[in-house]
Every structure is written in C-alpha cells, then in structure tokens.
Amino acid sequence: MVRNTGSKIKYFTQNEMKRIFNAIENSPTSHSLRDLAIFRVAYRCGLRASEIALIKREDYNSNKGEIYCQRLKGSKNNTIRLDTKTKDILDKHIECSNIILDSEVIFRSQENNPISRQTLDYLIKKYCLLAAVEDKSKHHFHSIKHTTAVHLAESDMDIKELQWWLGHKVVSNTEIYFQFTTRQQERMYTKLDERSEMV
C-alpha cells in the first residue's frame, strides 16, 4: 500500500473501494444499477466526474467491451477495455435504461440530463458513509481517479503504461503515483540482497 503520509493525494484502499461497490449494490434505490456502473467505469478508466458525463453510447463498443474516454484538462483521449464485471454491469444499465441512439449520454440524471459533477459528489459522499469510509477528506469523486492510479502503480504497471492509461501528456503528472509502495520497497530490498558486491 502507498504510504499516504504528507501527501495531498487522497485515494481509497482496495478494501475501501470494495466496500463502496458493495454499498452501492446493496442500496435499495432505483438508481443503484446506474450508480454502480458509474463508479465501476470511473474506477476502471480513471475518469473525472466531468468526463463521466461525456460518455455517449457511440463511445462504448459493447462487442469488445471498450470505452473511448474523452479526457479533459489537457489529457489525451484513449480507449480502455473494461473488466468482465464492469462490462456486464454497464451492459445491463444500458439495456435497462433503454439507451439506443449513438448520441445518447449513458449516465443521466432523473431529469434525463447528463449527470452533473454535483450529483456525483453527492453520491460519493452518500456511499462513503454507507461503506464506513471514515476519512472524510476522501469523500470526493476525484478520489476515484487517484485510487485508480495508485492501485495500478501497485500492480507492477510501469510509469509509461500508467501515463497512457490515465491520459497524461506529461510523465511528471504520473510520477506522483509512484511513491514507494510496499511492493516497490520489497523489490528494492530484493535487488539489494542480490548484489553480492555490497557489504
């Protein structure tokens, strides 16, 4: 796990992220399927709230399970392949919401508008409380993007791969996610142990 001391980056642990997903799945509201699809797509792709609202039916290739991600704030657009569970949930949401036209936005509000940043921040606060995520400084939708980056950095993805995944134009924006993780520390010590010339 990345040591978060002294860092301005707020992210969810893997356990916290699982609890958030479970809280959404167990929510009795009529929008729980939509919300679960939103949170899983945002986590898989590392998307900002404003980027979630941009996703249209034409951006999603259901045959390949891939989403074309329009990145904002100077980032590069890219196409991310969804994991099986996220794809299944998104397919179900699209079917239940009767989203047919290519120009239709996938994630909509009750008023049938693209879901707003304010609504997404309300939802993350709601589900963080249900999931008993105690650190309220994490209760912001942008924490999901940071969470994606940290979890991928911990999973042996190298910095260039992570840079592409997040759509960063400048690698220095990606480097902040490569603070020493427990796994990185273990690899470092293993390398040192293998250097017989060190005394």
- Residue 47: pLDDT band (50, 70, 90) is very high
CA distance 182 to 154: 8
179 φ, ψ (degrees, to nearest 5): -60, 160
Share of the chain above pLDDT 70, in %: 89
Asked if the model's pLDDT at residue 2 lies above 50, the reply is no
**Encoded tokens for 129:** 């409380």
What mean pLDDT, rounded, does the chain reach? 90
Q: How many CB atoms within 10 Å of residue 100?
A: 9
* Mean pLDDT of the region 138-167: 93
Share of the chain above pLDDT 90, in %: 75
- Residue 184: pLDDT band (50, 70, 90) is low
**Encoded tokens for 64:** 């390949």
- Would you state the pLDDT for residue 6? 39
pLDDT tens, position by position, 88-117: 999 999 999 999 999 999 999 989 999 999
Which helix (H) or strand (E) covers residue 67, if one does? Answer: strand 66-69
CB 129 within 8 A of CB 20: no
CB 20 within 8 A of CB 128: yes
Domains in the chain with CATH codes: 14-194 (1.10.443.10)
Asked if the model's pLDDT at residue 29 lies above 90, the reply is no
Number of H helices, E strands in the chain: 9, 3
* 154 Cβ contact list (under 8 Å, min separation 6): 1, 2, 181, 182, 183
Give the residue among 16, 86, 88 at the shortest CA–CA distance from 46.
Answer: 86
pTM score of the predicted model: 0.87
Asked if the model's pLDDT at residue 193 lies above 90, the reply is no
